[in-house]
């Protein structure tokens, strides 16, 4: 047995490396930003106000997924609430972003249908804020 790299194995190595790099383009976004402390009132609700309530608000008849993300209602409609479309999964599992439908629906994982906001995507910073908020205990702070 010798370990000299023959031209054939060299080509195989190049092919496998390029396949690996292809798979990196798909799947969850891993935001390259550093977010530390997140407040629900000051950081998360403003994201919902800007990008979500047009479609997730009981008041204006756009109540998709039976999810209300308007101020004063969003927190209770998320925490430990079983998802309408993806039961038995929960919208937010405290301290566990991976298990939370909310996080999976904004990070482009496509595990639970379309990415949110429908037809677009949040900034990397906003995506990371949602993850950190959940993993810091999803507090109403």
122 binds ligand HEC (CB under 6 A): yes
- Pick between residue 27 and residue 85 the one whose CB is nearest to ligand HEC: 85
SS3 (DSSP) at 105: helix
- What is the number of residues in the chain? 141
| Contact in structure between 130 and 91 (CB atoms under 8 Å) | no
In angstroms, give the least distance from the CB of 136 to ligand HEC.
Answer: 18
- Pick between residue 7 and residue 119 the one whose CB is nearest to ligand HEC: 119
> How far is CA 46 from each of CA 15, 99, 119, 127, rounded to the nearest angstrom?
45, 23, 19, 13
114 binds ligand HEC (CB under 6 A): yes
| Contact in structure between 91 and 77 (CB atoms under 8 Å) | yes
In angstroms, give the least distance from the CB of 61 to ligand HEC.
Answer: 12
Instruction: Please provide residue 90's backbone torsions phi and psi, each rounded to the nearest 5 degrees.
Output: -105, 150
Give, as ranges, the residues between 17 and 56 that touch ligand HEC (CB under 6 A). 51-52, 54-56
Give, as ranges, the residues between 49 and 108 that touch ligand HEC (CB under 6 A). 51-52, 54-56, 64-65, 67, 83-86, 91, 101-102, 105-106
Which residue do the tokens 């609430």 mark?
81
- Pick between residue 10 and residue 71 the one whose CB is nearest to ligand HEC: 71
Gap between the Cα atoms of 35 and 73, Å rounded: 25
**Partners of 57 in the β-ladder:** 62
- Pick between residue 7 and residue 133 the one whose CB is nearest to ligand HEC: 133
Q: Which residues contribute to the site for ligand HEC (CB under 6 A)?
A: 51-52, 54-56, 64-65, 67, 83-86, 91, 101-102, 105-106, 113-114, 116-119, 122
């Amino acid at each position: 047995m010798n370990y000299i790299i023959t031209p054939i194995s060299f080509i195989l190595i190049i092919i496998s490396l390029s396949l690996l790099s292809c798979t990196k383009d798909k799947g969850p976004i891993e935001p390259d930003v550093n977010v530390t402390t997140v407040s629900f009132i000051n950081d998360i609700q403003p994201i919902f106000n800007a990008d979500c309530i047009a479609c997730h608000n009981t008041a204006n008849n756009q109540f998709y997924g039976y999810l209300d993300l308007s101020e004063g209602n969003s927190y209770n409609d998320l925490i430990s609430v079983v998802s309408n479309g993806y039961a038995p999964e929960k919208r937010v599992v405290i301290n566990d972003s991976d298990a939370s439908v909310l996080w999976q629906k904004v990070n482009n994982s496509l595990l639970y249908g379309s990415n949110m906001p429908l037809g677009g995507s949040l900034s990397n910073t906003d995506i990371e804020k949602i993850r950190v908020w959940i993993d810091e205990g999803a507090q109403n702070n």
